[in-house]
Amino acid sequence: MRTTVIKFLFFVITLIFPAVLYAQINDGAVIPGDFADPSIIKVNDTYYATGTSSEWAPHFPIFKSTDLKNWKQSGYVFDKMPDWAMGSFWAPEYYKIGDTYFIYYTARRKSDNTSFIGVASSKFPDKDFKDHGVMIAYGKEAIDAFIVEDNGQRYITFKAYGLDNRPIELLAYKLSADGLKTEGEPFSLLKDDQKKGMEGQSFLKRDGYFYLFYSAGGCCGTGCSYNVRVARAKTFAGPYEIYGNNPILFENDKWKCMGHGTFVKGPDDRDMYLHHAYNKQSTNITGRQGLVSELTWPEKGGWPVFKTQQIFGGAIPNTMDNFKAKAVGRNWQWDMRNSTPSVKQAKGVLTLSGTVTEKNNTGIVLTDRPASGSFVMTATVLNHNAALKGLSFYGDANMAIGIGTENDQVVLWQVTDNKYTSLAQSAVNAKQPVQLKMELAADRTCTFFYKQGKEDWKALTSQTQLRANRLPQWDRSPRPGLHFKGSSDLNAQFTSFSIVNR
């Protein structure tokens, strides 16, 4: 009886308040879902964090919190792609000079398809960022910016890939007073002579030492080996002594491939490290999620220790939206390489249409970041036309699955290696809305259902069992969301959307 009442109250709340709601499940991640390479800054009593968005637009989502545990998305660094860039939006880094906030970020330059470092600035930590273009174009690739201050001089550090048979190394330039340019020639801080990998660096100064924290190993995918290591030097320029007991942050019973983060003082002045890791159960379905670990200093002048790799976890978010808000939710993203969506929201209806690239056989998917490796996704399609519209679990334009309505039919479909296949169909009443459901089980099995009115859910099945194993891409998780595939003069109209994590 108690369970029934709780479920009823939860249902009523979701009808009244369209928003991101939170299931009280402590999963360890403070920012659940795909949020790699995070950077953090504290402004008065509020923390702001941003992270890698790869090929999803808008670019670099921003979250805020007052306790480092409960986070809410507040915006994006870029609603529009910078003119010089074409993709691979990685590793943004926060910094503040005077009353101006800076984001130093990595993106791929369209003129030569090479990843370099750009800079943007704003008077606010979570909106109105103005791009200033490429700042560091060094060698074959320059990524992972981080700012360090020493005796009144600021430096920008970065990772450079090996040039002319040289190893990967961490380099630094002097940074101009306005934070927008480099000065002089770069100098080397540390080289990857042992070929273990070296990136995602951050620095702390304590007891007369500069401590250089960096990530080593493979960053991404099920075969990743990421971990955090440390070196130190008496001066910023080095030479740096690598700690003999590295790594200092690595996998535990629940999380693996921890790395690439930045430090901030917690509410009680402890050193807290916001970084990413894969959940061992959901792995690349949820992607690299945002975690917080505490750094401790056992003795003065000694090496730091992550406190038993302690993770401070929040709650897993459920998404519930009835589209009655005045503005479209900030949680939505899309594959900017393959689609240009048109999204409108009014009077409880979200209308989705747009255009796709020539070789895109999937269509447009308005996606949400998955926070669990097992969930139930639902939506209600209001209109009927020749477009395919409904739900999709989307890896990219070449790899997706979904269920949708098309004229007077409901269709189960998949795209594999850029080939679209209709797997099953069933007739529906074209005068009634259609409710659609997709369930993702922990073993990656996907099942699909539909109903109209007060009917019970009906399964729509194919001869081949559908699984999500092939959906994840190398550096990003697949995304569940709303789907539209049709000519630009048609649209999909939705009156509800939900993702309930299990």
Q: What is the DSSP string of 389-439?
A: EEEEEEEETTEEEEEEEETTEEEEEEEETTEEEEEEEEE--TTS-EEEEEE
pLDDT tens digits, 429-454? 999 999 999 999 999 999 999 999 99
The class (CATH top level) of 35-313 is mainly beta
The ranges of the chain with pLDDT < 70 are 1-27, 162-164, 308-312, 314
- Helix, strand or coil for residue 205? strand
Q: For residues 275 and 249, is the Cβ–Cβ distance under 8 A?
A: yes
Residues with Cβ within 8 Å of 380's Cβ and at least 6 positions away in sequence, in order, are 433, 434, 435, 436, 494, 495, 496
Position 309 scores a pLDDT of 59
Maximum Cα interatomic distance, the chain, rounded to a whole number of Å: 75
User: Residue 307's pLDDT is what?
Assistant: 85
In the beta sheet, which residues pair with residue 392? 402, 481
Q: Which of 37, 131, 251, 439 is an active site residue?
A: 37
Contact yes or no for 393/468 (Cβ under 8 A): yes
Write the DSSP symbol of residue 333. B
Partners of 174 in the β-ladder: 155, 183
The strand order across the sheet containing 388-396 reads: 364-367, 479-485, 388-396, 399-406, 409-416, 419-427
Q: Where are the domains of the chain?
A: 35-313, 321-501
135/106 Cα distance (integer angstroms): 10
Per the CB < 8 A criterion, the answer to whether 38 and 290 are in contact is yes
Q: Which residues pair with 415 in a beta bridge?
A: 400, 420
Six-digit token pair at 22? 């939170």
Separation CA 303–CA 35 (nearest Å): 29
Give tens-digit pLDDT for 112-159.
999 999 999 999 999 999 999 999 999 899 999 999 999 999 999 999
Does the annotation count 149 as an active-site position? no
8 Å CB contact between 277 and 256: yes
Does the active-site annotation cover 199?
Answer: yes
Contact between residue 288 and residue 200 where contact means Cβ atoms under 8 Å apart = no
**pLDDT value for 314:** 67
CA atoms within 13 A on the CB side of 401: 26
Task: For domain 321-501, give the CATH number.
Answer: 2.60.120.200
Is the whole model's pTM more than 0.95, yes or no? no
Q: How many CA atoms lie within 13 A of 189 on its CB side?
A: 32
What is the predicted pLDDT for the residue at 5? Answer: 39
Query: Which one of the listed residues 93, 199, 251, 321 is annotated catalytic?
Result: 199
136: CB partners within 8 A, 6+ apart: 116, 117, 142, 145, 156, 158, 173, 182
